[in-house]
Amino acid sequence: MSDVKEPEAPTEDPEKSRAKFKAMIDGTKEDWTHIVTHAMKFNKGLADRVLGHLRLLDGDFGGFPVDRLQHSLQTATRAYRDGRDEEYVVCALLHDIGDTLGSYNHPDVAAAILKPFVSEKNHWMVTHHGVFQGYYFFDYIGLDKNLRDNFKDHPWYEYTAQFCHLYDQMAFDPDYESEPLEFFEPMVQRLFAVPKNSLYKAALDKNEAEAGE
């Protein structure tokens, strides 16, 4: 039996389950039991929050032939229909979710959201897809279309080039019949249910186990 106090179930009155400290230096084990209990509950809503943010791309054309949500759905649908696994398909769905807040580094936003839940390979692909996608248009905007060649010797160069070639740069067809967002929702829910890696994973796992005892 662990000597760590079990987290208390959240009370109906949020006032009663708040930490008492005014500065963290004064925090206690009890304070942090309240906070971790809330975090565990809040974290379960992550997939819904991600999906809600993805919906912000709806109707945002940015001069493209399809809006950014349709582009995301089309990228994911093409990957799905090509037999890619669920983690890959969710990466395809979310690869441009950073367009709303990361105007100058949108791949970094998607990569940060996905990082705890995906392989290093898929994380690298999402992080670098902007440079690889540039192969198809950078020369039209005064940039070097071969910028991706800086990664020529990287083991995931081809993997990322394929993502852009087969799915991302292909996903601007207004006549393509994509699956709706609802089709992908269960996949997003499953992927975001349990982090593979996170600074907080050990603490959350411990509390999850104790809560289930």
Interatomic CA distance for residues 167 and 128, integer angstroms: 15
Which of 96, 97, 114, 126 contacts Fe ion by CB under 5 A?
96
User: Based on CB atoms, which residue is closest to Fe ion, 87 or 96?
Assistant: 96
Check: CB of residue 187 under 8 Å from CB of residue 84: no
User: Based on CB atoms, which residue is closest to Fe ion, 7 or 98?
Assistant: 98
- Write down the H helix ranges in 18-172: 29-43, 46-54, 68-81, 86-94, 106-114, 120-133, 157-162
User: Minimum Å distance from CB 67 to Fe ion?
Assistant: 12
Interatomic CA distance for residues 99 and 80, integer angstroms: 22
User: Based on CB atoms, which residue is closest to Fe ion, 43 or 122?
Assistant: 122
User: Based on CB atoms, which residue is closest to Fe ion, 87 or 168?
Assistant: 168
Mask for 115-154, x = binds Fe ion (CB under 5 A): ----------------------------------------
152-211 residues in contact with Fe ion (CB under 5 A) are 168
